[in-house]
Amino acid sequence: MKLRDIFTTALANTMRTKLRTFLTVIAVVIGAFTLTMTSGIGAGINKYIDAQVDAMGDTNQVSVMPAQTMDANVGLTAGEPQEYDPDAQGTVSDFGIPSMDEEDIEEIEQIENIEFVDPVIFVDIEYLETPDGTRYTVPSAGFASEQSMVEYAAGGPGSNAEDAYELVIPTSWLSAFDIDDVANADDVIDQEVIITAQDLEGNAETIEATVVGVAEETITGAGTSPIPSFGLTQQIAEINNTAGGTTIPFTYIQAMATVHDLATNEAQIKADLEEIDMVGQTVEDQMGFIGGIIDAITWVFNGFALIALLAASFGIVNTLLISVQERTRQIGLYKALGMTSGKVFTLFSTEAIVIGLLGSVIGIGLGSVVGVVGNALLINGPLDSVPGLTLYAIEPLALLVIALVIIGIAFLAGTLPARRAATKDPIEALRYD
Amino acid sequence: MTASPLESPPLLETENLVRVFGTGENRVAALQGLTFEIHQGESVAIIGKSGSGKSTLMHLLALLDQPTSGVVAMRGQVVSDLKPKQIAKVRNTTFGFVFQQFFLNAHETVLENATLPLKIAKVPKAERHRQGTEILEMLEMGDKLKAKAINLSGGQQQRVSIARALINSPEILFADEPTGNLDSETSAVVEDILFGLNEQGQTLIVVTHDEDLAAKCARQIRIQDGQIIEDSVVNA
């Protein structure tokens, strides 16, 4: 039998018992649909992240942390009590996480090609007063380094000068300045605000700052609250950490280093940081981490889909075993008329493949339609406030792989009944009764 | 007879053919050493009661089964010990089978049923249809080509089954109780077809318990308890 004839015969045979085939195919469809959805969602979100990373492609920042932070057994792990050693390294820590002090920051500044180091400081702003005198709370101010990670609806990032007290506000804060339309965001630039912070004794001190930019919100969370500039951050931090004329020395969990030509010098910077027991991560490294998490979640769901397919494969085995039983005589005739066992095997595994093919075409088609339509409904509906969001992307290669995996599983499921058909004795099969 | 055994090897021959089923206490010797020759153009009835071993003999001759000992040879070549793939090819190209119960695929058309051996032999579809149409027309089934086998009468089904047996121009046509499922009138028609083919030179081996049908063959090999008890040529 030619392959073409085998395929058409297999197709005709599967179509003969329509209801049974249909029910078996449904199980495969469920698996294919789930795989298509999860991989499409994974692809869509990763695409969105990539777009976000690309949008800030010119960022030359490297996030620097003490190397031990990467060790799993630092900080909160219980263990044997250790004797105090005043000379031990990593004596500074916050919440059990090793942190850096001014000395470390200076060391980082010494590294070749590092232009500027901006320690990440958590500052506590009591309130922000707009020119019309209204006071707004600022639950969590952004970090100065975020200024170069966001996209601007108006203005731009503040300067890195220590005496420049500048502020970037998110688009959502425009209403506080009586601006209803993002198109008029320019009007807020150069407006003066008053920022009030408390020192450790609860005394309020004020700083005047200038609005220099309006930031769009991004997936990273950067730009969702007002971002003080480097100098302003330092100033607020100093107020926050002062009591009765004494300022507690700052410690930092992390610092953002601006690098000259990061693309070229990335390897050198990372190596030099390693030498002083620091770890450097570019934005892409960190985004890659998020992408990795999304990939992991995608794989978990893919795992569920594969379990569904495993169940479906037993359906295929069952259906084809019944089919082999019912068509014993046909198989006997085929063999008596000169069909080889190999071809009988091929015929029945092709029927399994037909079921897999039907299931994957319907499932992948359905998954793609639901994904595309669902994506359109969500990003134009409840999620339209997130700019550039994609929740679902069609990746032809991934769909092809899904189809091949399903057809492969169907084929494997078909081998048991196909073997049974291939080993049937034509004499037994053709006995009259 | 069209060929003399002295000039060329017989079309089909057996030597000391033995077939034993089971072992130990269940051991049954279905065939106990049969030796005979069948020549081109003969019509041979293998006749015997149920359980005589005639079906086992046909299975061995048709290479559907393998002998416990002894050989089956075609034109002097031993074929009973060929590899399964080669045996399948011999069955496909040199044998035609007509079964008592027709064994047509009920949901396929007359043409599809009749051309099944060609499909197995990888003959292209157009050629299959051409040959199938020709043979079915010869058997007066030309107006039923597209009919589903399930919608045919018993006689029509057996004609399709004969068409299927003839489609590969077989050297030997095996007919296993070909009229066993037909009424006497239809039986007569099917017999006319089979013996008509034999007159045109088609070698015919009929397996039957029906003495009347056997008597229409030129030669009768009578089997009882796994042995030939009579091998006679009746002058037709």
Look at residue B226 and give its three-state secondary structure: coil
* Start-to-end Cα distance in chain B: 12
Scored b (16 or more CB within 10 A) or e, A175-203 reads: ebbebeeeeebeebeebebebbbebeeee
Using CB atoms, pick whichever of A333, A336, A338 lies closest to residue B89.
A338
CB contact under 8 A, B116 and A335: no
How much is the average pLDDT of A1-20?
Answer: 88
How much is the average pLDDT of B122-127?
Answer: 93
Confidence of residue A86 (pLDDT cuts 50, 70, 90): low
The pLDDT tens digits of the residues spanning B31-75 come to 999 999 999 999 999 999 888 989 899 999 999 999 999 999 998
d(CA A175, CA A1) in angstroms, rounded, equals 76
Q: Nearest residue on chain A to B66, judged by CA atoms?
A: A427
Query: Which of B166, B178, B51, B190 is CA-nearest to residue B103?
Result: B178
B66 touches chain A (CB under 8 A): no
- Given a cut of 50, whether residue A320 has pLDDT beyond it is yes
The pLDDT tens digits of the residues spanning A237-248 come to 888 888 887 888
Q: Quick check: B54 and B207 in contact, CB under 8 A?
A: yes
**Worst-scoring range by mean pLDDT, A58-72, A335-349, B168-182?**
A58-72
Shortest Cα distance, chain B CAs vs residue A374, angstroms: 43
Q: Nearest residue on chain A to B118, judged by CA atoms?
A: A1
d(CA B59, CA B53) in angstroms, rounded, equals 10
B97 touches chain A (CB under 8 A): yes
d(CA B67, CA B16) in angstroms, rounded, equals 10
CB contact under 8 A, A341 and B116: no
Shortest Cα distance, chain B CAs vs residue A2, angstroms: 5
> Is B96 within a domain?
yes
Our count of domains for chain B comes to 1
* Structural domain boundaries enclosing B96: 12-233
- Given a cut of 70, whether residue A78 has pLDDT beyond it is no
Give bridge partners of residue A209 from the DSSP assignment: A193
Query: Which of B121, B119, B143 is CA-nearest to residue B129?
Result: B119
CB contact under 8 A, A336 and B64: yes
B84 touches chain A (CB under 8 A): yes
d(CA B190, CA B196) in angstroms, rounded, equals 10
Phi and psi of A96, rounded to 5°? 80, -5
Shortest Cα distance, chain A CAs vs residue B236, angstroms: 31
> Is B4 within a domain?
no
How many other β-carbons are positioned within 10 Å of the β-carbon of residue B76? 10
Residue A58 is predicted with a pLDDT of 54
The amino acid present at A355, given as its one-letter code, is I
Residue A72 is predicted with a pLDDT of 45
Residue B37 is predicted with a pLDDT of 93
B174 touches chain A (CB under 8 A): no
Could you tell me which residue, A54 or B22, shows the higher pLDDT? B22
Shortest Cα distance, chain B CAs vs residue A28, angstroms: 27
Phi and psi of B131, rounded to 5°? -65, -40
The pLDDT tens digits of the residues spanning A94-107 come to 556 677 888 888 88
- Given a cut of 90, whether residue B130 has pLDDT beyond it is yes
Confidence of residue A79 (pLDDT cuts 50, 70, 90): low
Q: Quick check: B84 and B228 in contact, CB under 8 A?
A: no
> Is B3 within a domain?
no
CB contact under 8 A, A338 and B100: no
Residue B80 is predicted with a pLDDT of 83
CB contact under 8 A, B88 and A339: yes
Percent of chain A with pLDDT over 90: 27
Q: What single DSSP character describes residue B109? A: B
From residue B160, alpha-carbon distances to A104, B78, B153 in Å are 95, 32, 11
Give bridge partners of residue A25 from the DSSP assignment: none
CB contact under 8 A, A337 and B99: no
Shortest Cα distance, chain B CAs vs residue A12, angstroms: 9
Q: Quick check: A418 and A357 in contact, CB under 8 A?
A: no
Residue B224 is predicted with a pLDDT of 92
> Is B174 within a domain?
yes
Residue A278 is predicted with a pLDDT of 86
Chain B residues touching residue A9 (CB < 8 angstroms): 119
A394 touches chain B (CB under 8 A): no
Taking all residues of chain A, what is their mean pLDDT, rounded to a whole number? 85
The pLDDT tens digits of the residues spanning A272-318 come to 888 888 888 887 777 777 778 888 888 888 888 889 889 889 999 99
Shortest Cα distance, chain B CAs vs residue A353, angstroms: 20
Using CB atoms, pick whichever of B65, B85, B117 lies closest to residue A337.
B117
From residue A413, alpha-carbon distances to A21, A28, A311 in Å are 14, 12, 10
- Given a cut of 60, whether residue B100 has pLDDT beyond it is yes
d(CA A372, CA B234) in angstroms, rounded, equals 82
How much is the average pLDDT of A194-214?
Answer: 90
Residue A93 is predicted with a pLDDT of 57
The pLDDT tens digits of the residues spanning A340-385 come to 999 999 999 999 999 999 999 999 999 999 999 998 888 888 877 7
Scored b (16 or more CB within 10 A) or e, A105-140 reads: bebbeebebbeebbbbbebebbebbbeeeeeeebee
> Is B199 within a domain?
yes
Nearest 5 degrees, angle CA A394-CA A399-CA A401? 145
B65 touches chain A (CB under 8 A): yes
Confidence of residue B1 (pLDDT cuts 50, 70, 90): very low
d(CA A74, CA A97) in angstroms, rounded, equals 7
Which A residues 201-220 touch B at CB under 8 Å?
none
> Is B7 within a domain?
no
Scored b (16 or more CB within 10 A) or e, B38-59 reads: bbbbbbbbbbbeeebbbbbbbb
Q: B55: domain CATH number?
A: 3.40.50.300
Chain A residues touching residue B65 (CB < 8 angstroms): 427
Chain B residues touching residue A330 (CB < 8 angstroms): 105
> Is B124 within a domain?
yes
Could you tell me which residue, A282 or B216, shows the higher pLDDT? B216
CB contact under 8 A, A333 and B116: yes
B130 touches chain A (CB under 8 A): no
> Is B5 within a domain?
no
Instruction: For the sheet with B77-78, list strands across it.
Output: B28-38, B12-21, B69-74, B77-78
CB contact under 8 A, A427 and B65: yes
CB contact under 8 A, A339 and B122: no
Residue B199 is predicted with a pLDDT of 93
CB contact under 8 A, B117 and A1: no
B79 touches chain A (CB under 8 A): no
CB contact under 8 A, B122 and A338: no
